[in-house]
Amino acid sequence: MSVLSAVRQHLDKYLPRVDAGERQFREDAWRRAEATGLPKRGTETWKYTSIAPLDMMNWSVRGTNKIALPDEKKQWLNSLRGDFDTAVLVNGEFAPEISNMSADIQVSAAQLSGSGMKGEDGFADASLAVARPGLRFHVGQGVQVRRPLLIVKYQDAHEGWISSFNQIEVRERAELTVAEVLIGGEAPYLRTDLMLVSLAEGARLKWLRQQTESPSAFHFNETRVTLAANSGLHFTQLNRGSHWLRGQIFVDLLGAGAEACVHGLTFGGERQHLDQRVVVSHFAGETTSSQLFKGVYGDSAKGVLNGKIYIAPGAQKVASRQMNHNLLLSPTAEANTKPELEIYADDVKANHGATVGRLDKEKVFYLESRGIAKATAEKILGDAFVADVVMKIPDERLRRLVGEHHVS
C-alpha cells in the first residue's frame, strides 16, 4: 500500500476517536498532503532523493504499539545516567518507568492542535496527519537546567510506520542542553519524526541529535526552530544510521541578536542514501548563523546536503556562512552538495563554500606504514576529517556521546 493510502486508511479508523481540535488538525494536514502529493522527481528540493524506495514498501501506520526497551539498550542508558537526565520514548510512546528528569524541566503531552506546525512538503504533511503526540519539554523563564537531557527515541516495528511529534520550549533567558538519540530494532521500519522548538528571548539551547538508526530503517525528520531576540541555538546533527534518510531542519531567526549554529556530520557506507536539508532564515536584522556540514562516504553510499541561507528584505547587518565539505572513501560513493543563497537585503555578509574530495593516498600510506590496517586507516582519516565539527559541540558530555559511536 502506498504511503498516502496508508495514511488515509489509518485516519478513517482513528479520527472518529479523537477530539474536534485534533481531528481538524489532522484533516488539514491530510488535505495539504493530498493536494501536494509526495515529492516527485521534479521537486527542486528533492532533486537528489527519490521517495520511491520508501513508497514501494508496505508500511502500516502504527498507533499504540508498546514494547519494552531491549536489555542491552537499557544497560547503555544506565551507563549514561551519571551524566544525563533521561526521557525515553519507545515506538513514539513515553516510557516514564525508565525515564528520569529533574524538576527543572516540565514535561507534558505534546499538543498537535494549536501547535501551528505545517509540513514543508506533502510527505511531511502526511506524517503530521498520522503523528502520535509525544512529549512537550518546557523550561520556564530564567531556569538554567544543569544536567543535559538525553532523549532516547527507540523504534522497533516490523514494516511499521511510527510518526511522532515532540516539542521543546525554552522560555526567556532559560538554558537547556539536549542529546537526542534515535535508534531502533533490526527489522525494516519507517520513522517520521517531527519536532517544533521555540527559544524565547535570551534563551539558550545546545542540542546534539544523533541519528544512528538500524541499517534497514527508513527515516524522515522535519524540525522547525524559532529564535527570538538574543537567543542562541547550537545544533549538531549526526547522521550515521538508516538505509534511507531525509532530514530537514528549518531555523528561523526572528529577533535581533539571535544566533544559530547548525552543524552536521554524516557517515555513509554500503548502499545508504542520506539526504540532509538545512534552511536558515534571517527574518530579523543583526542576526548571525553558521552552517558547517561534513560528510564521509564509502562503499556505494550517496550523500546529499542542501543548505540554504535566506535573508529577508530589510534584515540588515546579518552575518551568515555555510560550509559543506565531503570526503569520498571509494570510487562508487557519491556526495551531492547544493548550496543556496536567497538574499533580499544589501548590508549583509553571507559566504558559502563546498568541496568534495578523495582520501589522500599519502596519508593512508603513512598510517599503514605504522601498522594500521588500510580499512582502519581510512576510518581514522574519515573521523579526522570531521573532528572539527565534533570539537565545536559546546558540551563535553555531548562530545563523548559522539565519540561512543566512533568506536567500532
Hey, what's the cell of 152?
532516547
331 forms part of the interface with another protein (CB under 8 A): no
Which of 279, 151, 270 has its CA nearest to residue 214?
Answer: 270
Give min distance, CB of 362 to another protein, in A. Answer: 5
Q: Helix, strand, or coil here: 45?
A: helix
Q: How far apart are CA 346 and CA 344, in angstroms?
A: 7
Query: In this complex, which beta carbon is closest to another protein, that of residue 342 or of residue 360?
Result: 360
Give min distance, CB of 209 to another protein, in A. Answer: 22
**Angle, vertex CA 293, rays to CA 149 and CA 139, nearest 5:** 25
377 forms part of the interface with another protein (CB under 8 A): yes
393 forms part of the interface with another protein (CB under 8 A): no
Out of 380, 394, 397, 405, point to the residue binding another protein (CB under 8 A). Answer: 380
Given a contact cutoff of 8 angstroms between Cβ atoms, the answer to whether 139 and 97 are in contact is: no
The binding track of 335-374 with respect to another protein, each residue x by CB under 8 A or -, is -------------------------xxxx-xxxxxxxxxx
Query: In this complex, which beta carbon is closest to another protein, that of residue 345 or of residue 372?
Result: 372
Give min distance, CB of 381 to another protein, in A. Answer: 7
Q: How far apart are CA 274 and CA 63, in angstroms?
A: 27
388 forms part of the interface with another protein (CB under 8 A): yes
Stretch that binds another protein, among 6-14, 35-43, 234-242, 379-387 (CB under 8 A): 379-387
**Angle, vertex CA 92, rays to CA 86 and CA 93, nearest 5:** 70
Please report which helix (H) or strand (E) contains residue 385, including its range. Answer: helix 374-391
387 forms part of the interface with another protein (CB under 8 A): yes
Give min distance, CB of 370 to another protein, in A. Answer: 4
Query: In this complex, which beta carbon is closest to another protein, that of residue 344 or of residue 366?
Result: 366
Contacts of 205 (CB under 8 A, 6+ apart): 168, 170, 175, 176, 177, 178, 197, 199, 231, 232, 233, 234, 235
386 forms part of the interface with another protein (CB under 8 A): yes
| Sites of contact with another protein (CB under 8 A) | 360-363, 365-374, 376-377, 380-381, 383-388
